[in-house]
Homo-oligomer: A and B are copies of this chain.
């Protein structure tokens, strides 16, 4: 089961961190942009090539220490289809370097269309007699607002190709409570969504106590996170909101069980822009990213202790 592979990588590296790859062009060092623009012009293609180069440097630096990357699709779509090609190449490069790839797309739709998204991001598509992987993720983030028939096609593809999903439950943003915290009888909407994840997860059993339907739960709501861990003992959490958004290691402590398992914590800007914060040369951007990743690992592990299967 796909999330088992993620868990094994987390244990191997003793690091429950996923590096978010959200490459705004502003984050990319000037020398990389200059090279790409010289070759491809100040074009969407030039921007996409610069982003890919930047990502490759980050992956080279991080792959020994960080078990996973999470490219956020929006930042690639921002550079049109050239950007989407950079997404594919980034996924491919990360996988070649042994990293687990979570595609952060928050896709959602009705059943027939969700089949298309599942095929696109987790499956294989037939073209005449040939088959292709349109994208290269190991897992995809999704939104469950449409209910089971928007999720079932994903479960089918996850089984067939050994992939996973993370469903939005309690998101990290300030206004997440506007809808998610509202109460349906005794339970909030996000708790109800959590129950739905539990149900969907029964289709994808794992060997380390967690199933293949994870939940996105923000580090910025520590109490909710702790309570969701109790409510959903078999659900693995993808935890955004650490660092730039305000969440600390203490805030996420409640996500982990006595074995130190239970979630993976995302940092995007914190790692990608570490060279700006360090104020080092931008040619050392990947080195700065690694130093920040190690600092973050130590920060998280100081709270978690040890991670074991």
Report chain B residues within 8 Å CB of A147.
173, 175-180
A27 within 8 A of B: no
Is B146 touching A175 in the complex (CB atoms < 8 A)?
A: yes
Q: Is the CB of B183 within 8 A of A127?
A: no
A74: contacting residue among B72, B113, B183, CB under 8 A: B113
A side interface size, CB within 8 A: 74
The distance from the CB of A157 to the nearest CB of chain B, in whole angstroms, is 12
Most buried by B among A107, A128, A145: A145
Question: From residue A179, how far is it (CB to closest CB) to chain B in Å?
Answer: 6
Is A227 part of the binding interface, using a Cβ–Cβ cutoff of 8 Å? no
Asked whether A192 is an interface residue with its Cβ less than 8 Å from the other chain, the reply is yes
Q: Which residue of B lies closest to A22 (CB)?
A: B113
CB neighbours (8 Å) of A185 from chain B are 183
Q: Is the CB of A146 within 8 A of B125?
A: no
| Smallest beta-carbon distance A134→chain B, Å | 4
The answer to whether A81 and B78 touch across the interface, beta carbons within 8 angstroms, is no
Give Cα A201–Cα B178 distance, bound, in whole angstroms: 16
**A193 CB–B CB distance under 8 Å:** yes
Nearest Cβ in chain B — how far from A125, in angstroms? 5
| Least CB separation from A182: chain B residue | B184
Taking the nearest CB of chain B, how far is it from the CB of A267, in angstroms?
14
Number of copies: 2
Q: Contact between B42 and A130 (Cβ–Cβ < 8 Å)? A: yes
Q: Is the CB of A135 within 8 A of B173?
A: no
In the complex, per-residue mask of A196-227: 1 if CB is within 8 Å of any chain B CB, else 0: 10000000000000000000000000000000
Given contacts A42-B129, A72-B113, A111-B173, contact A77 B150 (CB under 8 A): no
Which residues of A approach B to under 8 Å, CB–CB? 22, 24-25, 33, 37, 42-44, 46-47, 72, 74-75, 77-81, 83-85, 87-88, 106-111, 113-114, 116-117, 119-121, 125-130, 132, 134-135, 143-150, 168, 171-180, 182-185, 189, 192-193, 196, 240, 245
Known contacts A79-B127, A81-B81, A108-B168, then 11 further A-B pairs from the complex at CB < 8 Å, ordered by chain A residue: A44-B127, A72-B113, A77-B135, A81-B87, A83-B120, A111-B174, A143-B143, A145-B145, A146-B171, A179-B196, A182-B184
**7 interchain residue pairs of minimum CB distance:** A147-B178, A147-B175, A42-B128, A74-B116, A77-B120, A80-B134, A110-B173
